[in-house]
């Protein structure tokens, strides 16, 4: 087991003990990234900027694509305006999700990712 996998398992055990729903601390996008070999920590342990960037980019692409094909294209909205709207919405979503996870980290007194190297954190 790699160092990352050991830290991830310790983090998941800590998160499970808090009563937070698994779908919240281990969302499908994160599980997909892990299967692809990306060593991303659970969102409660990730940095504010990293969480905002990943959540915001994912939201902007998915939501922007849906809005383009369902609504914006038929209303004549320019691609530039659609892109600006999607990026703005993604940025707001990313900030809100980062704040949400930071609040959960503080509320449940979770250690930071780097301190999970020590066995006493688990």
Each residue's pLDDT expressed in tens, for the chain with a length of 122 residues:
788 999 999 999 999 999 999 999 999 989 999 999 999 999 999 999 999 999 999 999 999 999 999 999 999 999 999 999 999 999 999 999 999 999 999 999 999 998 887 555 44
Phi, psi of 77 (to 5 degrees): -65, 135
Tokens of 114: 């780097």
Q: Which domain holds residue 27?
A: 3-121
Residue 113 DSSP symbol: G
Please report where in the chains the tokens 């087991």 appear, as a residue: 1
Residue that has been written with the tokens 């066995």 in this structure: 119
Q: How many domains is the chain partitioned into structurally?
A: 1
């Amino acid at each position: 087991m790699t160092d990352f996998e050991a830290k991830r398992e310790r983090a998941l055990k800590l998160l499970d003990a808090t009563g937070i729903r698994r779908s919240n601390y281990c969302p499908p996008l994160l599980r997909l990234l892990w299967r692809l070999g990306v060593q991303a920590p659970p969102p409660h342990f990730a940095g504010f900027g990293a969480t905002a960037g990943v959540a915001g980019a994912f939201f902007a692409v998915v939501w922007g694509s849906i809005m383009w094909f369902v609504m914006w294209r038929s209303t004549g909205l320019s691609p530039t305006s659609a892109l600006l709207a999607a990026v703005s919405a993604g940025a707001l979503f990313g900030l809100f999700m980062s704040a949400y996870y930071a609040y959960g980290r503080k509320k449940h007194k979770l250690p930071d990712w780097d301190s999970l190297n020590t066995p006493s954190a688990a």
